Amino acid sequence: METPFRFGLGRVRDLRAHDEAQAKEAFAASLSLRVRGQAVLRAAEARLQDARAAAPGGHGAQITGAALVCRQAWVDRLQRSRDDAAARLTGLDVQLQRSRETLTDASRAREVLDQLEARQREAHRLEAERRQGAELDEMALRAYARRAAA
């Protein structure tokens, strides 16, 4: 009877696969946050562009100094908002890169154990074939010896 293959590091491999799955989830969450951050930045840039393009006052209307100061304060506030969104996006890029590296490391750790399991499985298969061949040779020798004795 052939003994079934048993990988001694199966539980470790399962833990590594679990770590990889968690790293995938963290990467997906980071990617989602980055996409949202891009959308926020685009919206802030659009609001800033609209504010800069808007004519101060109406057509032919007189503009007071206070209105110009208010408009400039509004544009400055939108510029700060845009700069904050850009800074947040940079932070999200860093976070995304870290989660990508974590996922890569977790995948490599699992793949190492997968390769080890594959090599051990192949060695087990070859050893089983060798034993089976030896048993068949032994049966053939016994059958030959019986025929020769008869």
Tell me: the pLDDT tens digits for 9-29? Answer: 999 999 999 999 999 999 999
Least confident piece of the model among 61-65, 73-77, 81-85, 95-99: 61-65
Residue 91 resides in a domain: yes
Residue 89 resides in a domain: yes
Write out the residue range of the structural domain in which residue 98 sits.
11-53+81-117
Residue 64 resides in a domain: no
pLDDT bucket at 62, cuts 50 / 70 / 90: confident
Residue 17 resides in a domain: yes
Residue 134 resides in a domain: no
Rounded to an integer, what distance in angstroms lies between the CA atom of residue 37 and that of residue 89? 5
The number of helices, as runs of H, and strands, as runs of E, in the chain is 2, 0
Q: Smallest Cα–Cα separation from 116: which of 124, 106, 126, 128? A: 124
Residue 3 resides in a domain: no
Q: Write out pLDDT tens, residues 99-145.
A: 999 999 999 999 999 999 999 999 999 999 999 999 999 999 999 99
Residue 122 resides in a domain: no
Number of domains in the chain: 1
Residue 73 resides in a domain: no
Q: What is the DSSP letter of 55?
A: P
